[in-house]
Amino acid sequence: MGNKSLNWENKDTISGIIMLLCGLGYGIMVLKIPGTKSQLFDSRFVPSLISVLILIVGILQTGRGLIAPKEKIEKKEFDKKTVICTFALIALYILFYSSAGFIITTFLFLFLEMNILTPGYVKKNQIVYLVISLFFSVGIYYLFYFGFSIFLPGGLLDTFL
Amino acid sequence: MKKFEKIFLMGLCAATILSGCGGKKDGGKDAAAVWPNKPVEVVLHASAGGDTDFNARTFGEFFEKETKKPMVVTNMPGASGLAATESIKGTPANGYKALFTHSGPLVVNYVSGISDYDFKEFDVACIPAIDGGSVLVASKKSGITSLKDLIEKSQANPESIIYGTEFGGFSHLQVLILQDKTGVKLKLADIGSTSEKVTNLLGGRIDVASIAYGSIKDYVENGDMVALAQYNGERNPYLGDVPTAKESGVDMEMNNPYIIAFPKGTDPVIVAKMSEIAEKVVGTPEYAEKLKVGFSQQAKVLTTEEAKVYLQKIEDEYMQYKDVLRNTTK
Amino acid sequence: MFELFGEGLLTALQPYTLILMLIGTAVGIVFGAVPGLSTVMGLVLGLPFTYAMSPAVGICFLISLYIGGTSGGLISAILLGIPGTPSSIATCFDGLPMKNNGRVMEALGMGVVFSFIGTVVSTLALIFISPLLAKVALQFGPHEYFSIAIFAIILITSLAGSTLPKAFFAALMGIGFATVGLSPTDAVKRFTFGSPQLVGGFNTLTVLIGLFAITEILLTSETIKFSTKQEKIEVNMKNVKGFGFTIKEFLEQKWNAAVAAVIGIVIGIIPGIGGSTSNLIAYNVIKSRSKYPEKFGTGIADGVVASETSNNASVGGAMIPLLTLGIPGDGATAVLLGAFMVHGIVPGPLLFKNNASLVFAIFAAMFIGAFLMLIVEFFGLRIFAQVLRVPKYILLPIVIVFTTVGAFALASRTFDVIAILVFGILGYIFVKFKIPQSPFIIGFILGRMAEENLRRGLILSDNNILDFFSKPIASVFLIATILYLGYMLLRYSNKFMKYRYHKY
């Protein structure tokens, strides 16, 4: 017999626990849906069914992960810093999209993100990045304004546009 | 010290005077006088290709001819019209963004409880067109030949005839009023919008429905469907030979007005201007022709006060059915 | 009859029309290729331009846009691993690996040629057997829609190539996200937390963008700084003649193409579902029929062929109910319907009688559009591949910008832009834990259809659930689903038992 202890670090276990949390979260929110007393198949039916099924699936998955033998996990090359920076930049870009406006946020996003992603061996040409950022932020804005009559958020530049 | 105080006081006075002089750039009398001096955006609750979209774009075409400024259409479908109404509710009332919709989102939604507010949450400018093209049709399979026939058959056998609709929507209200005025009971089924109604009528899964005439014209012509009645007070000349409900002895009149509404607090001068423009547009023969060809609509207009009175009237009428509308599935 | 056919053909072949169709094809391909912009969006933007054109010309223009857009999605699917439109989701699964294996021209070539074939085959179906096929559309009521939606979800979930719990989790989450908003039938606000934006629910395009585009840039950022030299994907241009593959390879795909085309046509005919669903179903069906299912996802032509043939076949398929019944087969044909109505023409059973030359012009336009797409993409193939020369650290941020624009353009709300962030986080977590994406997407797309039609069917059947089995088509799909599910669960528990007991 192999090891009897439960494997909590296994990816399957972790994903299983995430599933359970999702199922629970969804299930709790389902309780807020007003139900219809006389009917089984009302607006609560499908969401309730889904939350129950997610919980079942979560149990299966967690179980599967827990009984898996402990394996040595190889650490893959993973540049945490870049991922977090990229994610943060995208989040800021999107959250300020409307208030600061499309042109400003797009310009900043493009310029900064290109800088963040450039691999070490490449010499960063800031002029190129600047030109590209400016071209696309202003270009797309006016393309959609004049070409498609879709008005991207002007934000802080609203008074000038 | 005294000198300093004097200078400070003078500065304060100057500042006060200057701030009074500047005035609001975007609001105030000047803005209303030059409106429109840039493109006006209308937000629609419907997506491109339908009758509301067509109506808005056609109106916009003639709006531009009148004012030399374009009218830009933005489609914001979703949540039975709430997406569009919410968007306009929160938008600055500067006269350059308005709602172009019909009584579905602004009246029926309130009656059915989908929306907490009605048209009074906005500054209604006018009604630029009224859609009187909805027709009550029956499938050939149902064997129903006229409105009178429908009434007789369902009195003999209550809830045997299936009426397909979208619960909470305009056609749902139509059938509730019809049932009320005729005393009959039909079986109501949530079936979807025009496409689903047509498919299920042809497939024999529902017996009757209310559909825009344009969509079922061919079927009436080749006999797959029978047009039982139109809901207008007087016959809409573009609907062919369909009797009105009143002609068949049912005292019912119901049609769907399109509404142009600004966010609350818009300068009344701007609101009045939009209303005047609408009057001019509707008076144009080319506009009337386009409406007729496109969706068999007659060109009619109601100005600001007329529109509000009309909307309140129909809202009061619909509110009688509020509980039934909200409780169909409960 | 022949004069009308000639008349229609002539209208379509006039220089003015041809030029417009060329523009339409090119515009369509661009909208299809750029992630974030979609075919439907292109059609909606093009629609107002057609109001001023004559009906035949306007509709021909839109058709060429439709065809171009549907096929354009394969370009970014293969080059970037991000589907350009929902119709090319499955193309990523094998298209991207093919590119990574140095077979990018073959992938692109296969995709383009089989898109062409899909369009042509479905157009032939449209021309010769549409009245019969239209009857198929009429057989689908709420019970049938529910059954086919459930069947499709179960099918794709079980074939997702991952362990069942994970695949089902993905599907369930997809359906769960689809429940956000107003519930079908009684319009109850679900999971809206008092926010008027959430009342509208999420949009498929935002799911797509988040799940693929945002995830892709996050994945890239994991290792991009470690790359030591420009890892240029060897675009082997020397031996590439024509479309990048041999006649032998072409013929090997004939049965895949045939099956995929049929699936695409049928799904296109059923109103309400189109290319976005058929590509996933065709991919999975062909995978399940294949002699080497384990190779799917590693980069084989079969995957690309399945996806691209079916999505373009759905174009012709969706035109069938549009022209014969006046009922749009999918989102794009709904816009086309608007184009008809604006000119006072209502497609339907009498369209052929009253407007035969227009109908023939449309048939001609479908063929011409297919050829134009083939030609434009043929010349474009080499240009598209050059996109790979642009370094990822410049290309990906620009792609992200376009996706936010596409999301915003849906309804001019920033809510949709924020939604892509939400689905991006979700997508990244999914990839990290090897949870498959296709069940999520199909669950999202079809989840609402399933619930809506379940409830509608129950209303028609007076809450008698057994009534679903009294309807032939519905019961076929339901029984197939139950059997398939049972089979899958048995296999899983067998595997699980082996896994458990043999490890010790």
Q: Which of residues 85-144 of B touch C (CB under 8 A)?
A: 86-87, 112-114
Q: Note the CATH number of domain B32-131+256-327.
A: 3.40.190.150
Dmax over CA atoms of chain A, in Å, equals 75
Residue C341 pLDDT: 81
Q: Are B229 and B135 in contact (CB under 8 A)?
A: yes
A2 pLDDT more than 50: no
Q: Does residue B276 sit at the A interface (CB-CB below 8 Å)?
A: no
Using an 8 Å CB-CB cutoff, list chain B residues near A146.
none
The band of A135, judged by pLDDT with boundaries at 50, 70 and 90, is very high
What are the helix (H) ranges across B114-259?
A: 147-156, 170-182, 194-202, 213-221
Residue spans per domain, chain B: 32-131+256-327, 134-248
Separation of CA C78 from chain center: 15
d(CA C15, CA C28): 19
Q: Are B190 and B166 in contact (CB under 8 A)?
A: yes
Q: Which of residues 295-314 of B touch C (CB under 8 A)?
A: 295
Residue B23 pLDDT: 36
Asked if A36 lies within 8 A of B329 by C-beta distance, the reply is yes
- Reading the block at residue C312, the tokens are 């373009």
The continuous run of DSSP H or E covering B92 comes out as none
Residue B25 pLDDT: 42
| Chains with 3 or more CB pairs under 8 A to chain B | A, C
d(CA C20, CA A28): 55
C489 pLDDT more than 90: no
- Residue range C221-273, pLDDT digits in tens: 888 887 766 555 555 554 455 667 778 888 888 899 999 999 999 999 998 88
Task: Tabulate helix, strand, coil % of chain A (nearest 5).
Answer: 60, 0, 40
Q: What is the pLDDT along chain B (330 residues), one digit of tens a residue?
A: 455 455 555 545 544 443 333 333 445 567 788 888 888 999 999 877 778 888 898 899 899 998 998 898 888 877 778 888 988 988 888 889 999 999 999 999 999 888 889 999 999 999 998 888 889 999 999 999 999 999 999 999 998 999 999 888 888 999 999 999 998 999 999 998 888 899 999 999 999 999 988 888 889 988 999 999 999 888 888 888 899 988 888 888 888 999 999 999 999 999 999 999 999 999 899 898 888 877 777 788 999 999 999 999 999 999 988 888 877 644
Residue spans per domain, chain A: 11-66, 80-157
In angstroms, the separation between the Cα of residue B147 and the nearest Cα of chain A is 33
Scanning the structure block, which residue is given the tokens 């033998």?
A69
Amino acid at A10: N
Separation of CA B186 from chain center: 26
Residue C503 pLDDT: 56
User: Phi and psi at residue B76, in whole multiples of 5°?
Assistant: -130, 70
Between C166, C188, C503, which is nearest A34 by CB?
A: C188
- Reading the block at residue C135, the tokens are 């009857």
d(CA C254, CA C243): 16
Mean pLDDT of all residues in C313-334: 90
Asked if B329 lies within 8 A of A42 by C-beta distance, the reply is yes
- Reading the block at residue C43, the tokens are 């059609």
d(CA C359, CA C250): 32
d(CA C220, CA C435): 18
DSSP-assigned states of every residue in C163-224: -HHHHHHHHHHHHHHHTSEEPTTT--EES-TT-TTGGG---HHHHHIIIIIIHHHHHHHHHG
Tell me: cis bond preceding C436? Omega within 30 of 0 counts.
no
Q: Of B125, B46, B43, B54, give the one whose Cα is nearest residue B297.
A: B54
Residue B190 pLDDT: 92
- Reading the block at residue A57, the tokens are 């699936």
3-class SS of residue C40: helix
d(CA B184, CA B178): 8
Q: Does residue A151 sit at the B interface (CB-CB below 8 Å)?
A: yes
- Reading the block at residue A156, the tokens are 């802080």
3-class SS of residue A24: helix
Q: Which residue of B has its CA nearest to C410?
A: B76
B134-248 classified as CATH 3.40.190.10: yes
Q: Are C458 and C186 in contact (CB under 8 A)?
A: no
Residue C134 pLDDT: 83
Cβ neighbours of residue B84 under 8 Å, at least 6 residues apart?
Answer: B43, B44, B45, B76, B77, B78, B99, B101, B105
In angstroms, the separation between the Cα of residue C295 and the nearest Cα of chain A is 24
User: Phi and psi at residue B50, in whole multiples of 5°?
Assistant: -95, -170
Amino acid at C504: Y
Cβ neighbours of residue B233 under 8 Å, at least 6 residues apart?
Answer: B244, B246, B253
Dmax over CA atoms of chain C, in Å, equals 79
C324 pLDDT more than 80: yes
C488 pLDDT more than 90: no
Scanning the structure block, which residue is given the tokens 């596409």?
C406
d(CA C150, CA B287): 47
C14 pLDDT more than 70: yes
| HSE, side-chain direction, 13 A CA sphere, residue C190 | 29
3-class SS of residue C478: helix
Mean pLDDT of all residues in C120-127: 94
Asked if C412 lies within 8 A of A119 by C-beta distance, the reply is no
Q: Of C432, C380, C483, give the one whose Cα is nearest residue C33.
A: C380
Q: Of B88, B167, B116, B264, give the one whose Cα is nearest residue C411.
A: B88
- Residue range A100-129, pLDDT digits in tens: 999 999 999 999 999 998 887 888 889 999
Q: Are C418 and C198 in contact (CB under 8 A)?
A: no
Under DSSP, the state recorded for B329 is: T
| Chains with 3 or more CB pairs under 8 A to chain C | A, B
The band of A1, judged by pLDDT with boundaries at 50, 70 and 90, is very low
d(CA B130, CA B55): 10
Mean pLDDT of all residues in A14-40: 84
Asked if B195 lies within 8 A of C343 by C-beta distance, the reply is no
Separation of CA A119 from chain center: 23
Residue C8 pLDDT: 76
Q: Are B157 and B184 in contact (CB under 8 A)?
A: no
Between C166, C186, C217, which is nearest A43 by CB?
A: C186
Q: Does residue A42 sit at the B interface (CB-CB below 8 Å)?
A: yes
- Reading the block at residue C169, the tokens are 């989790």
Q: In this complex, how many residue pairs, one in chain A and one in chain C, have their CB atoms less than 8 Å apart? A: 175
Asked if C200 lies within 8 A of B43 by C-beta distance, the reply is no
Mean pLDDT of all residues in C196-214: 89
Residue B54 pLDDT: 84
Q: Which residues of B215-244 are buried (b: 16+ CB within 10 A; e: fewer)?
A: bbbbbbbeebbbbbbbbbeebbebbeebbb
Residue B28 pLDDT: 55
Q: Does residue A54 sit at the C interface (CB-CB below 8 Å)?
A: yes
C398, C493, C498, C503: best mutation site toward chain A, by most A Cβ within 10 Å?
A: C398
Please state the pTM of the whole predicted model: 0.88
Between B49, B76, B217, which is nearest C346 by CB?
A: B217
Asked if C394 lies within 8 A of A14 by C-beta distance, the reply is no
Between B41, B74, B330, which is nearest A36 by CB?
A: B330
Residue C182 pLDDT: 86
Q: Which residue of B has its CA nearest to C50?
A: B49
The continuous run of DSSP H or E covering B15 comes out as helix B2-22
In angstroms, the separation between the Cα of residue A32 and the nearest Cα of chain B is 17
